[in-house]
Amino acid sequence: MNKLSAAPVLTTERLILRGPEREDLPAFTRFMTSAPSLEAQGETVTAEQAWFGFLTGIGHWQWHGFGFFTVVEKQTGQPVGRVGLIRHSNWPEVELAWHLFEEGEGKGFATEAAIAVRTWAGEALGLDRLYSYIDRKNLRSQAVAKRLGARTEGTRAPHEPEAEVWVHAMAQR
């Protein structure tokens, strides 16, 4: 295990959420270069671009103190996706985002992991509001947002015109 960030370890009933490790790069690269969900949206990248994206994720933890967690299924020990908080330089707010690898889709992992991240964001970071910027055609991600209790009025994200802004209710402290 090569820990590359100061990310805490979060656990749920079925999942372990941890910071990125060197060993995660092959699964991340496979997802970014060939996942059907990314292909459908025209968002696949080259292996080199995936490598840069992986490094950017590590830097995000260093810069902000938060980022994407690698989501590992307890039963198999295998990474099944990434869920976390991001805020790029031109984004108006902190986003709660999820990307499940093919083997992790359709099992409720995105919702389970996002609840853990949202709770951590409120308790450890003191964030009182999170947003998700979801492509208006991405019905699966919209369904996750709804299960999380997020709401949208159809407002578009200024940095991504095809994405709607979803606002997450945070746990009361």
pLDDT (tens digit, 9 = 90+) per residue, 157-168?
Answer: 888 888 999 999
Q: What are the structural domain ranges in the chain?
A: 10-168
pTM for the model stands at 0.91
Could you say which DSSP state residue 30 is in?
H
Sign of the CA dihedral running 130, 98, 164, 171:
negative
Calculate the average pLDDT of the chain. Answer: 91
pLDDT value at position 171? 62
Sign of the CA dihedral running 155, 157, 163, 169:
negative
Q: What angle do CA 68, 69, 70 make, to 5 degrees?
A: 120
For domain 10-168, which architecture applies?
Answer: 3-Layer(aba) Sandwich (3.40)
Using one digit for the tens of pLDDT, what is the confidence trace for 67-118?
Answer: 999 999 999 999 999 999 999 888 878 999 999 998 889 999 999 999 999 9
Residue 89 in tokens: 């330089």
Say whether pLDDT at 48 is over 90: yes
pLDDT value at position 160? 84
Helix, strand or coil, per DSSP, at residue 153: strand
Say whether pLDDT at 2 is over 90: no
